[in-house]
Amino acid sequence: MASTIWVQKQALTQTHVHKAPMPMLSEGAVRLRIESFSVTANNITYAVIGDVFGYWNFFPAEGDFGVVPMWGHAVVEESRHPDIAVGERVYGYLPMGTHLDVLPGKISQSGFTDMAAHRQPMSPIYNQYSRLAADPEHDPAKEAERMLFGPLFKTGFLIEAMLRRERWFGAQNLVITSASSKTAMGLASVARDLSPNIKRIGLTSKGNIGFVKSTALYDDVMAYDDVSALPQSASVCVDFAGNSSLLRSIHDTLAGNLAYSCLVGATHVDARGPNSAGASGGTMPGPKPVLFFAPDHAVATIQELGPKGFGEAVGRSWKSFLAAAHGIVEIEEHNSLQSAATAFIETLQGKTDPQKGIIIRP
């Protein structure tokens, strides 16, 4: 029996455990038993913009329900593919559940792609699975950190690469909202290493100021209430909060000094509005906000650096970030699928502690 958390797409706090018998495995397919995954603000973004970018399509449910994708580890429980052995462990995109059947193709020593027909219209970045036995990014001692930070860190890496490619649009300051979020910290770390002349300003809630300062990833940390005190010099804004009133305040304050406005994710779900999607961003002073879609920028950055160069660049920045993030987040493990639904809802409602990283072992 396979269990999966089904989420009501139009009311994300409404969830239930869906149980179904596992079908007979088809020829060439592999059954993965999910060992662990993380629950982060990244998963909230997948749910909030799931219809727009097809995130609900990876692990289909029925009717008005969907399955939120997670990043985690799994072990091959059954295999009908000659090149994939039972007992092998992989890392990649998984449902919030106990099992996943995949159809491996494009197999190499270090990974494979799920060639299931329903997944082909979506970005191939999400369909790739790393085979841990030959995965250069795998560190057995850092599996929790990889689940918590890995995908989010890569998004931060790609944002910095895009901004640097554009010569930072002539800006001197980088304004980052939701500065306590894992993607924001990843961006700040990469910018510190690769664009040290850019001043990093983190915006966060009053309650998180101490935590954000303790990361030492920002040159300056400000509360949301103090946006009007942002320095009046050329800036780019990367908004992880998805809070339309906050974004409006940043645009109003910086106005002509805002060189570029980038939207990533939506951690403040209840406050998101039309401007958070850039739909009416033109009504605000400054540039119209542009939505950042990581898979597209991954393709561009890989083309720029080459696959080998890209992997090496990510690896260097990842090691630097892990050193900077050591001890910042306390790993908190839960051992049931229902606890994943609880963690998802609490993250959705903004009730999770940024100093804790949630790992689920279903």
What would the DSSP string read from start to end of 168-201?
GGG-SEEEESSTTSHHHHHHHHHHHHH-TTSEEE
Distance CA 125, CA 105 (A): 14
Answer for the pair 97, 34: CB distance below 8 angstroms, yes or no: yes
The values of phi and psi at residue 155, to 5°, are -65, -45
Q: Which residues of 130-159 are buried (b: 16+ CB within 10 A; e: fewer)?
A: bbbeebeebeeeebbbbbbbbbbbbbbbbb
pLDDT tens, position by position, 221-252: 999 999 999 999 999 999 998 888 999 999 99
Global confidence as pTM: 0.79
Q: Residue 287 carries which DSSP code?
A: S
**No. of helices (H) and no. of strands (E), the chain:** 9, 18
Chunked into runs of 10 residues, the chain (362 residues) has average pLDDT values of 96 96 96 97 88 92 96 98 98 97 94 96 90 87 90 91 95 96 92 97 95 94 97 96 91 96 66 42 81 81 83 86 84 95 93 87 96
Query: Which domains, from first to last, does the chain contain?
Result: 2-138+330-360 (3.90.180.10), 152-295 (3.40.50.720)
pLDDT tens, position by position, 41-95: 889 889 988 888 899 999 999 999 999 999 999 999 999 999 999 999 999 999 9
Amino acid at 274: P
Distance CA 335, CA 107 (A): 32
